[in-house]
Amino acid sequence: MRKPVPGLCPICGDRLFVTKLHCHRCATSIEGNFEPCRFCSLSPEHKVFLEVFVKCRGNIKEVEKELGISYPTVRNRLDGALAAMGFGAEGSGTQADPSARRKEVLDALSRGEINADDAVKLLRTLR
C-alpha cells in the first residue's frame, strides 16, 4: 500500500522537496532536488474538495449538492485551495488589501468552512 507524498514538513509546516525518485520495476534511482507539483502541498480537505470540483466539471450547483454545502462555502473552499496552491484571488480585490483577506479567512474559520490548519496556511500567504 502506497502512502501519499507529504507536501508539507510535519515539524515546521514548510514545503517539502523530493530528493530521490526510484523505479520499483527496474530499480533505477535518480537523486536531485525536484519541485513537487502544486497539488502535493494541499491539505487532504483541499484535495477532496478539488476532486469533487473537477468531477462536477466546475459546476458550483453540483458541488453544493455533492458536498451538502452552500454557494458561499463552495467559493470559500475554492479560494482557500487556490491560495494554498499559490494562486492569488485576481479580480476579487482581496489581493490588494491583506487586512480584508485576513478577515475573510478568520470569518471562514469561525463559520467552520475551513479548519485551523488551513486558516494558518492561508494567513501565512498574506505576509
pLDDT in tens, the chain (127 residues): 777 777 778 888 887 888 998 999 999 999 998 887 888 778 888 999 999 999 999 999 999 999 999 888 898 899 889 988 888 655 444 444 677 778 878 887 887 777 788 788 778 776 6
Are 8 and 51 members of one domain?
no
Are 65 and 106 members of one domain?
yes
Are 26 and 86 members of one domain?
no
Grid cell locating 10:
510535519
Q: Which domain holds residue 3?
A: 1-37
pLDDT at 102 (0 to 100): 81
Are 87 and 57 members of one domain?
yes
Q: Could you give the number of structural domains in the chain? A: 2
pLDDT at 18 (0 to 100): 84
Sign of CA dihedral 77, 80, 85, 91: positive
Are 25 and 49 members of one domain?
no
In SS3 terms, 4-55 reads as CCCCECCCCCCECCEEEEECCCCCCEEEEEECCCHHHHCCHHHHHHHHHHHH
Are 29 and 77 members of one domain?
no
Contact (CB, 8 A) for 121 and 108: no
Are 15 and 63 members of one domain?
no
What are the two backbone dihedrals, phi and then psi, of residue 93, each rounded to the nearest 5 degrees? 85, -15
* DSSP conformation class of 85: T
Are 93 and 113 members of one domain?
yes
Are 71 and 96 members of one domain?
yes
